[in-house]
A = this chain, B = another copy of it.
Amino acid sequence: MAERKPRKDAARNREAVLAAADALFARRGSPEDITMADVAAAAGVGKGTLFRAFGDRPGLLRALYEARLEPVREAVETGPPPLGPATPPRQRVPALLDAVLCFKLDNGRLALALEESGSGSPYQAEHYRRWHGLLRTVLEQIPGLTDGDFTAHALLAATRADLVAYLAGQERLPRERMRAELAQFTARVLGPDSPQGPTVEG
């Protein structure tokens, strides 16, 4: 079971590739005209190395994505409110969605590249299933909320990378504005506060 540890040049190269790819996706315009050869060149390694380390294009993107997502994931799983698990559901749902939105706003090109580069639908992706599973669970803790499964999908759909990129890019919708709109939308979906007194929030 213990993964045999990789040789240190391999490890170093892996990091070099991640860093180079990160930089490339951050700077360049369209994600899809960053070629694997580009990444290899920028990292100063051969294509062989790149493919051995990550398998294929989606593999590289996934690795990058997971790396960037790590902080958010931690904040969600073990952090303090409003993201962490101690938060009451009605506050946590919008917080989670806001976190996803912000993440996509900050990592637009990458998320886009990942969703595009296929390997089938994005819905198979492990990270999507994690978000969906969590959101669903939280939703189902809210009384009066049925079909948490579909609702989770629908809410997450509102934060799709290409939609976010389009709104921010072509429509010039400012960041804060978008966050506000999403929050409002979410609020409507969650419905009015529960009848027996509003979560007397401090």
Question: Measuring CB to CB, which residues of chain A are less than 8 angstroms from any residue of chain B?
Answer: 32, 116, 118, 121-124, 146-147, 150-151, 153-154, 157-158, 160, 162-163, 165-167, 170, 178, 181-182, 184-185, 188-189, 191-192
Contact = CB atoms under 8 A, between A and B. Distances in A.
Contacts of A184: 146-147
A153 B167 contact: yes
Copies of the polypeptide in the assembly: 2
Nearest to A147: B181
Contact of A189 (B116, B178, B188): B188
A124 B170 contact: yes
Contacts of A157: 154, 157-158, 160, 163
Contact of A163 (B123, B185, B189): B123
